[in-house]
Amino acid sequence: MPDPPGFAEDILARRDEERQFLVQLIDGSKIDDYELSVPIKAELRKYQKEGISWMAFLAKFQLHGILCDGSSNSY
């Protein structure tokens, strides 16, 4: 569908940003990989990297969240 005539460029740009946000929010696999700014002496697992990227995504949009590791076997 074409853009409506006469819409300001800043409105169209904002729409594209919001569209990207919603796609990433709905489908976590679309979130950009986050690169750690400090070196760590560890090999992160895939789910840990995804968790860091998810938290960076939330921070970018001033949202809040927590990560939980449900794989613990201690009861």
Is residue 23 situated within a structural domain? yes
Is residue 1 situated within a structural domain? no
Per the structure, the count of domains in the chain is: 1
Mean pLDDT of the region 30-57: 91
Is residue 40 situated within a structural domain? yes
Domain extent, residue 43, equals: 9-60
What SS3 string covers the chain? CCCCCCCCHHHHHHHHHHHHHHHHHHCHHHCCCCCCCCCCCCCCCHHHHHHHHHHHHHHHCCCCCCCCCCCCCCC
pLDDT tops 60 at residue 74: no
Is residue 65 situated within a structural domain? no
Is residue 18 situated within a structural domain? yes
pLDDT tops 80 at residue 71: no
Is residue 17 situated within a structural domain? yes
12-29, pLDDT tens digit by residue? 889 889 999 999 999 988
**Is pTM, for the whole model, over 0.75?**
no
